[in-house]
Amino acid sequence: MAISAGQIVFYYLAAASIASAILAVTRANPVHGMLWVLALFLHVAGIFLLAGAEFLAAVQVIVYAGAILVFYLFFLMLLDLPAEAAGPRFGRHWPLCALAGFAFAALALWVRIPGLTPAGELTASASRGSLRTFGLALFQQFVLPFEILSLVLLAAIVGAVVVARGRTGS
């Protein structure tokens, strides 16, 4: 079986993202963990590029790696980082958690879908990743979920302000 260049790149990206995810959840220093999450997000953006989802890759880099991660890093400044890094990083129940995680992974890898074949014409995939078809689908077929999503974001922002402001406003 010949291995194409795309497959080699995919397996590199997959191995790198798994390694950075493991490092991200096990580092004692939260800032180091956050930087490994940044590496994970960039590698996942590469996987999106390989899957023909260019717009999704751009959103992944801009929103996840840019906005969300910077926000998390900003909130880490609330912590007492040396004390945080010195204490135990896992709870006492961590073997149970690891067992649950491995059981989930084993279950998900064990379940196979044998009859999964492409539903549509694969020749149509040339224009599939383009921003034009993506935007048309987003604003025609999915316009109602899109608007509901904007309401969800608005509710989350207002809720965050209300919760974070505390009792001083009353």
Partner 1 sequence: MAPLGSYLALSAILFAIGMIGFLSRRNIILMLVSAEIMLNAVNVSLAGFSHHMADQRGQILALFVIAVAAAELAAGLGLVIALTRNRPGVNIEDLTQLKW
Task: Tell me the C-alpha distance between 88 and 53, whole Å.
Answer: 40
Q: Tokens for 48?
A: 């999106």
Q: Which of 93, 132, 140, 170 binds partner 1 (CB under 8 A)?
A: 93
Task: Tell me the C-alpha distance between 108 and 110, whole Å.
Answer: 5
Q: Which of 12, 51, 86, 147 binds partner 1 (CB under 8 A)?
A: 51
The closest of 23, 31, 26 to 80, measured between CA atoms, is 31
SS3 69: helix
Q: Which of 12, 18, 86, 147 binds partner 1 (CB under 8 A)?
A: 18
- Minimum gap (Å) between residue 113 Cβ and partner 1: 8
Task: Tell me the C-alpha distance between 20 and 53, whole Å.
Answer: 22
- Minimum gap (Å) between residue 56 Cβ and partner 1: 5
Does position 140 bind partner 1 by CB under 8 A? no
Q: Tokens for 34?
A: 């956050």
Does position 87 bind partner 1 by CB under 8 A? yes
Closer to partner 1 by Cβ: residue 87 or 169: 87
Does position 116 bind partner 1 by CB under 8 A? yes
